[in-house]
Amino acid sequence: MRTSLPSTQRWLAIRTQFVIDAGIVFFSVWLASAIRFEDLWPEVTMARYWPALVAGSLALPATVYIFGLYSLQGAHLRKRERVALLCVAFVACLLVLLAMGSLNFSSRIGRGVMAWQAPIGLALLLAHHGALVQRGLSARRRMAIVIGESRDELALRILQGVSPPQTDVVGYFSPQPLGGALSTLHLGTCRDIVRQMDERGIDALICSDPHLRHPDMSPILRRVCFSGHPVLSLTDVLEEAYGAVPLSLVNMEWLVHASAMPRREYVRKLKRLFDVGCSLVFGVVLALPLLAGMVLVRLTSKGPVFYSQVRSGRHGRTFKVHKLRTMRVDAEANGAQWAAGRKDPRLTPVGGLLRTFRLDEIPQLWNVLTGDMSFVGPRPERPEFVEKLAQDIPFFEERLLVQPGLTGWAQVCYPYGASVEDARRKLEYDLYYMKHMSMMLDFFILLDTVRTVLRGGAARRGAEALKRIEQLTGEPEPEPITLGLPQAV
């Protein structure tokens, strides 16, 4: 009965804006060529430009995405800041166009064309994002919820407690009004759903799974679907808002539904081809940064340059992960401990720097090439940590169903963590990725990784709201203690 997954709409909107910005590069070069050569379709000239055009059309939207200008937070930037970032992104595009011409002189875009293309392209880019901001700030989704049992009332209280961005919960449908202040939000009984949604301009209906199977509710919900209104679960709404799955709302039924998403095996095979190609390319591109990191490790601390450690991979199969050493050689003299990020007292003088810019992860390209890891996926944990966390966090071992990654959705949404609560938060992002994994999502996560490296760390994207949801559902919070485990034999 679920008519759509809002999280797919979330990424569809980003993909659409990405394609529009890429199209601006193509259109501005074509129009500039038409003006310069007084020919509406200069076929020979445009054919020469293709290598530079493809590179430039990827560089512009990729830079815009890294700057966060496709997000709601980007829409709230001051106009001067937003325009400045768009200008920087456009300059980056121009530099790529010029660089491609230097590499291949036959595809070089002439100065006359560039002189026309620059103002045309920049004007179109600013106009597009001006319209995008206006629509983004004003667009809000109006929703109503069906209440038939106590957990439906809890869903309403959760939505009121966290107030998901760009979402207005206008009321609820139930046999009778709830008590207290909630009585004013009563929209009618379930027989009034279709009429009230049309009259009040309600965009979507939130409904729990038991109602979908009810013989009296099912026909009503089908009418809602055929009227063009999606029927969503509470988890769907929160996934869209926060890019994570609240763990307190996950059950076995959700896990089965999430794992049954189509084309999963097709995506896995495509990911393997992508991993092999990218590991070879990045192995060459990052050779000099790797060499610089090796020299820094050697000059600033005693011990080996590289560090290998056993991690749990797909289905719990163990493998050795390789990194540049960022800690002292006696870092685990008192037993295995969870790394605490850049403030870990066991770090070498350059360990924090290497971690900030993820240079210590470069040797893991070998793990990607050999198939132990993927470029994108949940970060692999040590077997002893997995065993400990699986006891404290429900469904923690679900993350072992997919290939671990060099980077991941949790890594770009949440900073380094060293507690059970941090591991719980990261699992919520990992479950989101496992449900929605695709090549396009992997591509955007790689761009997010670039942004994280440039910022020197990830922001806590939606983490406070996820913690509030956990409190509202009444589940006890895990104690924020640092993991200290007996030394592995």
User: Residue 49 — pLDDT band, cuts 50, 70, 90?
Assistant: confident
Average pLDDT for the chain:
85
Give domain limits for the chain.
Answer: 6-138, 141-242, 264-472
Banded model confidence at residue 334, pLDDT cuts 50, 70, 90: low
The one-character DSSP state at 484 is B
Element (H, E) at 432: helix 420-436
Q: Which DSSP category does 107 fall into?
A: G
Q: What is the CA radius of gyration of the chain?
A: 26
Q: How far apart are CA 481 and CA 489, in angstroms?
A: 23
DSSP-derived 3-state class of residue 273: helix
Q: How far apart, in whole angstroms, are the C-alpha atoms of residue 394 and residue 390?
A: 7
Would you say how long the chain is, in residues?
A: 489
> In the predicted model, is pLDDT for residue 418 greater than 90?
no
Averaged pLDDT for residues 102-120? 81
- Compute φ and ψ for 415, nearest 5 degrees: -75, 180
Query: Within 10 A of 301 (CB to CB), how many other CB atoms are there?
Result: 19
Residue 269: both structure tokens together: 């095979």
Using a pLDDT cut of 70, give the percent of the chain over it.
Answer: 88
Question: What average pLDDT does the segment 306-312 reach?
Answer: 92
pLDDT-derived band at 395, boundaries 50, 70, 90: very high
142 contacts 201 by C-beta, under 8 angstroms: yes
The tens digit of pLDDT for each residue in 453-470 reads: 888 776 777 788 888 888
What tokens appear for 116 in the block? 């026309």
Superfamily name and number for 141-242? AF0625-like (3.40.50.10700)
Residue closest to 408 by CA, chosen among 362, 365, 442: 442
- The residue among 311 and 101 whose pLDDT is bigger is 311
Integer distance in angstroms from the first to the last C-alpha of the chain?
51
Single out the residue of 23, 27, 57, 51 nearest to residue 40, CA to CA: 27
Question: At 194, phi and psi to the nearest 5?
Answer: -60, -45
Of residues 451 and 37, more confidence is placed in 451
In the prediction, which pLDDT does 262 show? 59
pLDDT digits (tens, 9 = 90+) for 256-267: 888 876 566 767
Max avg pLDDT among 59-63, 78-82, 269-273, 439-443: 59-63
E strand or H helix that includes residue 407: strand 405-407
pLDDT for res 107: 65
Contact 279, 369 (CB under 8 A): yes
